[in-house]
């Protein structure tokens, strides 16, 4: 039986994704033997997440509001965009006619690393196992509808020409892809963009974040 203080922190760490009580216990004992400065550094870094990181109003990718490029800092007109849009959405050189819908933030990062994709993203916030209402409500489907219908009110002026559904090749990813397609078709029925899916090559049942860059690149090139 651990003391109340130790058990309390173990319980908190156990709520982290993929962390069970055993790993949580290791974290706690690591912290117990860490110097005070390290603990303070950790506390400050966690607090920074809440004060400096914001969700992008368009793609929902969390971004660091404390980073400003020198040109933007001098331009008052971009103040608004600076506050709400991430680096990707703010970048006018990117192809705003293409939207890639991913399950989670880490998938966006994985795709960005290939440097092959130049369009915009939308982070759905997870997957669904079924198309039941209670499951669907956990995702940003309402937001997706609003963003597709009226991207300019979220800071992006565009007409989507292609939407890439880049969910993982897992059963949940497929169910989610059906839901996304249904949402696109229902929302943009009068001006339907091309809807494409990542090409073959991705390991079945695998996840985008574990695919190597070459595989992911060819999946993008082979999209249909
Ligand atoms: Zn963004």
Q: Which of 36-45, 155-164, 184-193, 194-203 has the lowest mean pLDDT?
A: 194-203
Query: Could you give the CA distance from residue 213 to residue 44 in angstroms, rounded to a whole number?
Result: 34
Tell me the H-state helices in the chain: 4-14, 21-32, 36-52, 70-74, 79-84, 87-90, 105-114, 133-136, 141-149, 171-187, 213-221
Q: Residue 207: name the closest of 166, 161, 176 by CA.
A: 166
Rounded to the nearest angstrom, the distance between the alpha carbon of 41 and the centre of ligand 1 is 28
Percent of the chain topping pLDDT 90: 59
CATH among 3.30.470.20, 3.40.50.1820, 3.40.1360.10, 3.40.50.2300 for 87-221:
3.40.1360.10
Give pLDDT, residue 81. 43
Kindly report, as residue ranges, where domains of CATH 3.40.1360.10 are found in the chain.
Answer: 87-221
DSSP 200: B
In this prediction, residues 165-190 reach a mean pLDDT of 90
**Quick one: how far is CA 221 from the chain centroid?**
21
Rounded to the nearest angstrom, the distance between the alpha carbon of 69 and the centre of ligand 1 is 16
Residue 99's DSSP bridge partners are 120, 163
Rounded to the nearest angstrom, the distance between the alpha carbon of 122 and the centre of ligand 1 is 8
Neighbours of 13 (CB within 10 A): 17
Considering 26-40, 116-130, 136-150, 151-165, the range whose residues carry the highest mean pLDDT is 26-40
Rounded to the nearest angstrom, the distance between the alpha carbon of 156 and the centre of ligand 1 is 10
Give pLDDT, residue 216. 82
Rounded to the nearest angstrom, the distance between the alpha carbon of 99 and the centre of ligand 1 is 11
SS3 62: strand
Give pLDDT, residue 217. 83
Banded model confidence at residue 212, pLDDT cuts 50, 70, 90: confident
Banded model confidence at residue 214, pLDDT cuts 50, 70, 90: confident
Rounded to the nearest angstrom, the distance between the alpha carbon of 138 and the centre of ligand 1 is 20
Kindly report, as residue ranges, where domains of CATH 1.10.8.420 are found in the chain.
Answer: 4-51
Model confidence, pTM: 0.79
DSSP string across 10-36: HHHHHTSTT--HHHHHHHHHHHHTS-H
Chain segment 39-83, per-residue pLDDT in tens = 999 999 999 999 999 999 999 999 998 766 545 555 544 444 457
Q: Are 140 and 75 in contact (CB under 8 A)?
A: no
89 vs 74: which has the higher pLDDT: 89
Rounded to the nearest angstrom, the distance between the alpha carbon of 178 and the centre of ligand 1 is 24
In this prediction, residues 186-214 reach a mean pLDDT of 81
CATH among 3.30.70.260, 1.10.240.10, 1.10.8.420, 3.30.70.360 for 4-51:
1.10.8.420
Give pLDDT, residue 204. 67
Chain segment 134-147, per-residue pLDDT in tens = 888 889 999 999 99
Rounded to the nearest angstrom, the distance between the alpha carbon of 25 and the centre of ligand 1 is 36
Percent of the chain topping pLDDT 70: 90
Rounded to the nearest angstrom, the distance between the alpha carbon of 93 and the centre of ligand 1 is 14
Banded model confidence at residue 224, pLDDT cuts 50, 70, 90: confident
Rounded to the nearest angstrom, the distance between the alpha carbon of 213 and the centre of ligand 1 is 22
| End-to-end CA separation in angstroms for the chain | 56
Here the tokens at position 37 are 């400065």
SS3 96: strand
pLDDT at 6 over 90: yes
Q: Residue 143: name the closest of 122, 174, 121, 158 by CA.
A: 122
Rounded to the nearest angstrom, the distance between the alpha carbon of 123 and the centre of ligand 1 is 9
Query: Could you give the CA distance from residue 97 to residue 159 in angstroms, rounded to a whole number?
Result: 6
Banded model confidence at residue 131, pLDDT cuts 50, 70, 90: confident
Rounded to the nearest angstrom, the distance between the alpha carbon of 152 and the centre of ligand 1 is 13
Give pLDDT, residue 200. 62
Give pLDDT, residue 114. 87
Buried b (16+ CB within 10 A) or exposed e, 40-75: eeeeeeeeeeeeeeeebbbbbbebeeeeeeeeeeee
Neighbours of 123 (CB within 10 A): 23
Rounded to the nearest angstrom, the distance between the alpha carbon of 7 and the centre of ligand 1 is 39
């Amino acid at each position: 039986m651990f003391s109340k203080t130790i058990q309390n922190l173990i319980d908190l760490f156990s709520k982290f994704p993929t962390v069970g009580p055993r790993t949580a216990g290791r974290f706690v004992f690591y912290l117990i033997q860490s110097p005070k400065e390290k603990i303070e550094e950790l506390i400050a870094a966690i607090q920074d997440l809440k004060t400096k990181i914001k969700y992008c109003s368009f793609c929902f990718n969390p971004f660091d509001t404390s980073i400003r490029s020198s040109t933007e800092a001098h331009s008052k007109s971009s103040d608004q965009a600076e506050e709400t849009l991430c680096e990707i959405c703010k970048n006018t050189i990117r192809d705003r006619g293409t939207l890639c819908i991913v399950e989670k933030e880490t998938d966006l990062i994985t795709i960005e690393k290939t440097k092959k994709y130049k369009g915009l993203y939308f982070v759905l916030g997870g997957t669904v196992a079924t198309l039941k209402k209670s499951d669907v409500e956990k995702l940003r489907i309402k937001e997706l509808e609003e963003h597709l219908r009226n991207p300019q009110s979220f800071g992006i002026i565009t007409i989507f020409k292609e939407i890439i559904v880049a969910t993982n090749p897992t059963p949940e990813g497929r169910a989610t892809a059906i839901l996304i397609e249904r949402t696109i078709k229902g929302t943009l029925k009068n001006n339907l963009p091309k809807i494409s899916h990542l090409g073959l090559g991705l390991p079945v049942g695998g996840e985008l974040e574990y695919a190597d860059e070459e595989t992911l690149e060819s999946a993008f090139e082979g999209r249909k």
